[in-house]
Homo-oligomer: A and B are copies of this chain.
């Protein structure tokens, strides 16, 4: 692969997927990298649900808060926050369990890793935030589980509309030692 800076730069949201399937071998490679993600106190508070059923994919994507999808990804992976690893508090660690804020911060790590691993394998991706109740119903999650983010994987359709990728400049974002506060 190229250097990491290029990989991270080229990873992007794909809005139109072809109907080409992602092989189980490649899905496994992506999950293997997800498995090594960091998490608060190495709690690994996740279960990975692989979804290929077309009606489930459509319902999950349609329930998502934003995203402008014309064609569905052939596979979605939901890293579910396993309720057995979270406390009722928002922060910190208790009896090897982490607060919900830490669980949210942790669950994003395998999402980022999966998108990057996919890109390195020539697979395109999108990150989506499903309606949680819908997602939990579809995957039969436990009451105490959380399903707040997911990744779609597939191959981009060629010659279709692409949003221009834009980012703020570093000069607008970086502070040294303290923030010049605006309040």
Residues of A within 8 A of B (CB): 1-5, 7-9, 11, 13, 28-29, 31-33, 35-38, 40-42, 44, 46-53, 56, 65-66, 80, 84, 91-93, 101-102, 104-109, 111-113, 115-117, 119-120, 127, 129, 132, 138-145, 148-149, 166-168, 170, 173-183
Nearest CB of B to A156, in Å: 16
Cβ distance A174 to chain B, nearest Cβ, rounded Å: 5
Give this chain's copy count. 2
What residues of chain B lie closer than 8 Å to A179, measured between beta carbons? 47, 49, 80, 139-142, 145
Task: Using A13-B38, A35-B170, A51-B177 as known contacts, say yes or no to A92 and B65 having CB atoms under 8 A apart.
Answer: yes
Instruction: Decide: A31 and B170 in contact? CB cutoff 8 A.
Output: yes
Rounded to whole Å, the gap between the CB of A91 and the closest CB of chain B is 7
Partner of A101, one of B92, B104, B180: B104
Q: List 12 A-B contacts (CB under 8 A).
A: A4-B120, A5-B29, A8-B117, A47-B175, A50-B175, A65-B102, A105-B107, A105-B108, A109-B112, A139-B175, A139-B177, A140-B178
Q: Is A178 in contact with B139, judged by CB distance below 8 angstroms?
A: yes
Inter-chain CA distance A79–B41, complex, in Å, is 20
Q: Which 4 A-B pairs have the closest CB atoms?
A: A108-B108, A4-B120, A112-B112, A104-B104
